[in-house]
Structure 1
């Protein structure tokens, strides 16, 4: 199958070694494809194909009457433990599908996350990949002085930042828009998505005639769990100089 080599390697790895970790979830998981729900289940699994974050695998029995799920061919090297599949809803279909026949993932289906128009946990849309139930975000008000500089130019300074702490990642400093030197910022067309924070927009920074792309991001309408950061700006720690109460942060 053209373009299926990554799925083939994943199937071979999972059939021989098993997933890094897997866990049933009580969340209701649904997937919208071609304006119809292709599956609807309260028996999904979080499956960590690698240590970084999980994917949702859904039971074969969870597919709706609007969807057609078919096995196509056995994945070479899995001894019939995994099949490629095809999921169709009306005129739309995807073959970025794996169907598992043996434990521990028996009767579970992996659909490439990007192939579904919209995933839902309960009634909440999710983006990029499912949230890891073992990770969390804390957003803390602080009165520590945060200063952001680049090539000797101060870009922002605030005594009332928000510290965003996300499990296993750098602390990010979200600063009020009134604390930023706007003359150095220009709009970027870049947009990215985070499963924990929502859709981010960006600014480029111009210092001494040199443009640094996408050095600043912000969320106009973050997810409810990250609502306090709405409208605040965050500078890319690893690419600027940040000092906290006069002590420069190590990159």
Structure 2
């Protein structure tokens, strides 16, 4: 069983200091565990454990008759404000669960996102974490020129990029596949998930016999809201040299 020390540290911080932010969400939230919906609620909360994105916390009263939620012991350093718990459905259980015992999160349950089989927001599966309701993505066609270089070698150049603007993040430039110098790229086995864009795959880039892992990502089947970026490639701005209309961008 994995150590709960990281979960305990998070619970200590939230029990003593409170979350960064929290608010009720009217969205229906369900969790599938061992073939059953362990919980089903319209009383969930978005809880920002840090400033970047929220997690779902669900009421302890929302667990179904097929699931057993049992407090195991109080978490040291929380002054009784949080307890570890065990979620059991038939012959499967997880202890990556915390119940908060005091305001403002009293009787809300945090289940580590990957500890159950599938989360649903309404009838839509979510794979990484809930979307932040205060963030949005805009994908805009542009005729501004984009040039990408690494170690003095141009690896992409186009005058038909897509600019992706995501709230509070730097712009990303998605480039058509025909603008890429493919001789420098090789497929990576890495996959990641973004709640706004979907499952990403990656390429490594090799320049002057040096390989840069996972420097480029792309979406074969992005989410509907991010559909225009399908098949386009994006380089990490922070790790390459990029010129936008001839002006070099700061890393």
TM-score (norm 1): 0.95
Quote the residue 1:32 is aligned against. 32
Quote the residue 1:68 is aligned against. 68
1:76–1:206 distance in 2 versus 1, CA, 3 Å: closer
1:207–1:11 distance in 2 versus 1, CA, 3 Å: closer
The 5 A counterparts of 1:1-251 are 3-251=3-251
Query: Unaligned stretches of 5+ in structure 2?
Result: none
1:140-176 deviation line (CA, Å, top 9, x unaligned): 1111011111122211111111001111212110011
What CA distance in whole angstroms lies between the structure 2 residues aligned with 1:100 and 1:236? 39
What CA distance in whole angstroms lies between the structure 1 residues aligned with 2:2 and 2:120? 29
RMSD: 1.4
Query: Unaligned stretches of 5+ in structure 1?
Result: none
Deviating beyond 3 angstroms after TM superposition, the runs of 4 or more aligned structure 1 residues are: none
Structure 2 residue matching 1:221: 3-state secondary structure: coil
1:241–1:77 distance in 2 versus 1, CA, 3 Å: closer
The number of aligned residues is 251
